[in-house]
C-alpha cells in the first residue's frame, strides 16, 4: 500500500504555492502519494475542521503550513491512530500571543491586521504576501510567487480564517496526539517568532523540531528541496517510505 501525504496550505495561500514542495517530495520518493488540499472556503470558522475531516482520506500523514498545520494538528488528535504522523510547517501552537504562550504575534498587531482585512481585503492580502516573504533570501521574488498563486477568496471566508487564527490553541491537540510529530520553522519568520521553536521543545521534548536559520514564513515555497528532505527523513524514521 502506497504511503499518502496530505499537504494543507495556510491562510490566504493557494494550493499552487505547495506544488514545488510536492514535486520535490515526489522526485525523492516517487512511490509516495502526495496530495495538496485547499483549506475550507466556509464562512463559519467552527465548521472548518469538520469539513476537512469529512474530505481528507484517513490513514495518511498530515502536513500543514501555518494555519493549515494548526488544523492538521487538531485533525490528527481527533483521528488518533488513523493519522500516520503530523508535520507542521511554520505552525505555532498559538498564532497570536497569550499570557501562557508569549512566543507568537502580539495580539495588538494581529487585531490591527484583522481590522485592515475587513476594511480593505485586497490591499491587506498584498501586504500579507510581503510579510510571508520577509526574511527570505529573495523576498521580492517569493512575494510575487505568493501573489500569483493566491486564490480568490471572499471577504467573509478570509475573515473566518482570521477568526480561527485568533482563537486556535493547538497545545492540547499536540500533546494528546501520540503519533510522530515534526515541526519546521523559519529563523527569519516575520509571522511566527523563531523563539516558538525553542519554546515548543522545552514544553514537549518528544517532538522533532528543526529551524532553517535564513528562511521566512514562506519556507515551504522558499526552500522546497530542503523541506522535502526533512519531511522524508522524518517519515522514514517511523516507516519505510
Catalytic positions are 66, 189, 217
Handedness of CA 230, 231, 234, 239 (dihedral sign): negative
Q: Are 85 and 62 in contact (CB under 8 A)?
A: yes
CA atoms within 13 A on the CB side of 69: 22
- The maximal CA–CA distance of the chain, rounded, in angstroms, is 49
CA–CA distance, 5 with 2 (Å, rounded to integer): 10
Three-class secondary structure of residue 208 per DSSP: strand
Specify the 3-state DSSP secondary structure of 212: strand
| CA gap 132, 218 in Å, rounded | 5
C-alpha cell at 231: 519531511
φ, ψ (nearest 5 deg) of residue 27: -65, -40
φ, ψ dihedrals at 223, nearest 5°: -130, 60
Distance, CA of 88 to CA of 171 (rounded, Å): 13
Candidates 80, 58, 56; CA nearest to 68 is 56
Amino acid at each position: 500500500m502506497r504511503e499518502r501525504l496530505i499537504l494543507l496550505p495556510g491562510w490566504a495561500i493557494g494550493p499552487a504555492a505547495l506544488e514545488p514542495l510536492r514535486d520535490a517530495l515526489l522526485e525523492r520518493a516517487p512511490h509516495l502519494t502526495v496530495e495538496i488540499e485547499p483549506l475550507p472556503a466556509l464562512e463559519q470558522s467552527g465548521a472548518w475542521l469538520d469539513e476537512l475531516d469529512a474530505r481528507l482520506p484517513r490513514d495518511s500523514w498530515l502536513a500543514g503550513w501555518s494555519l493549515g498545520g494548526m488544523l492538521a494538528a487538531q485533525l490528527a488528535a481527533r483521528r488518533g491512530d488513523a493519522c500516520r504522523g503530523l508535520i507542521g510547517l511554520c505552525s505555532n501552537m498559538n498564532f497570536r500571543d497569550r499570557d501562557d504562550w508569549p512566543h507568537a504575534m502580539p495580539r495588538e498587531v494581529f487585531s490591527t491586521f484583522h481590522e485592515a482585512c475587513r476594511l480593505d481585503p485586497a490591499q491587506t492580502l498584498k501586504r500579507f504576501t510581503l510579510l510571508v516573504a520577509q526574511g527570505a533570501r529573495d523576498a521580492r521574488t517569493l512575494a510575487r510567487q505568493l501573489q500569483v498563486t493566491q486564490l480568490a477568496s471572499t471577504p467573509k471566508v478570509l475573515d473566518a480564517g482570521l477568526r480561527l487564527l485568533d482563537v486556535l490553541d493547538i497545545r492540547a491537540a499536540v500533546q494528546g496526539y501520540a503519533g510522530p510529530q515534526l515541526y519546521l520553522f523559519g529563523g527569519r519568520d516575520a509571522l511566527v517568532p523563531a523563539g516558538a521553536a525553542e519554546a515548543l521543545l522545552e514544553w514537549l521534548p518528544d517532538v522533532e523540531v528543526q529551524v532553517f536559520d535564513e528562511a521566512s514564513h514562506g519556507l515551504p515555497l522558499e526552500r522546497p528541496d530542503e523541506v522535502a528532505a526533512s519531511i522524508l527523513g522524518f517519515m522514514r524514521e517511523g516507516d519505510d517510505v
